Amino acid sequence: MKKNHLLGLSIAIAVLLSCVGPARSVSAQSGDSLYKRLGGYDALAKVTDEFIGRLATDKTVGRFFVGASDNSKMRIRQLVVDQLCAATGGPCVYIGRDMKTAHKNMGVTEGEFNAFVEDLVAALDKFKVGATEKNELLNIFAPMKSQIVEVKSQATGTPLPANFKHAPPLKPLKLLTQRPSTTQKTSSWPQRLPNKGKKQ
C-alpha cells in the first residue's frame, strides 16, 4: 500500500508533546479518563477538524497536502480522531499504521514537526482546552517524534523526496440504491424465508 502524504497530519500530535514538560496526571485524582476530561468524541472531532484545517493552509508544511483529494483528507481526519480517542482512554480503535511506517521516506524535518505542533496547540487553545489536559495529551504522543522526524534540520517547506509517491484517491463504494424487484431472483438480496409458524 502506498504511503498517504496526509498521514503527516499525525506528526503534529507527536510534535506538540515533545515541546511540553511533564504534566501532572489528574486521572487518578478525578477518576475520569483524559478522554472524558477533554469532552469525549465530539470534542476531539472538533479539535481535529480545526487542526487539519490549519495544517492544510500552513505554508510551512504545505508540501504534505499538495494534490490531496477530499476523501484522502477525510480518511486522515478519521484516523487522527480515532488515534486521539484511543490514546486518551476512549472507546475507539486506531487501525492506522505505526508512525515510523506512515512517515517513512517523507523527509520530515524537526522544523516541520514543530510547525505541526504549533498548529495543534493553536487548535487546542481555540477550544480552551485546560493546560493540564493539553500537557497530558501532548506527553502521550511525545515519543512519536523520534519515529516521525527523519531530518535534523529546522528547515520547513522543503520539497518531498524524489522517491516519495502519493497514494491514489480512494475509489467510491458502489452502494445498493434500489431494492431488487421481488419478481427477479437475485443473489445480492436476501430472499424471504417461509414462515414456519403458519400451517400451509
Paired residues of 109 in beta bridges = 151
Domain-embedded: residue 113: yes
Which pLDDT does position 79 carry in this prediction?
93
Q: Residues 49, 55: contact at Cβ < 8 Å? A: no
Which pLDDT does position 12 carry in this prediction?
43
Paired residues of 151 in beta bridges = 109
Domain-embedded: residue 114: yes
Domain-embedded: residue 140: yes
Which pLDDT does position 63 carry in this prediction?
80
Domain-embedded: residue 87: yes
Other Cβ atoms closer than 10 A to 189: 13
Q: Which residues contact 92 (CB under 8 A, 6 or more apart)?
A: 41, 81, 82, 85, 86
Which pLDDT does position 25 carry in this prediction?
40
Domain-embedded: residue 15: yes
Domain coverage including residue 30: 5-148
Q: Which residues of the chain have pLDDT under 70?
A: 1-30, 158-200
Sign of the dihedral through C-alpha 8, 148, 12, 63? negative
CATH number for the domain that contains residue 125:
1.10.490.10
For 145, the grid coordinates are 517524534
Domain-embedded: residue 195: no
Domain-embedded: residue 59: yes
Which pLDDT does position 95 carry in this prediction?
92
Among 179, 113, 105, which residue's Cα sits nearest to residue 143?
A: 113
Residue written as grid cell 480517542 = 85
Which pLDDT does position 182 carry in this prediction?
55
- Stated pTM of the model: 0.66
Domain-embedded: residue 19: yes
Which pLDDT does position 155 carry in this prediction?
86
For 65, the grid coordinates are 497536502
Which pLDDT does position 17 carry in this prediction?
37
First vs last Cα of the chain: how many Å apart?
Answer: 55
Per the structure, the count of domains in the chain is 1
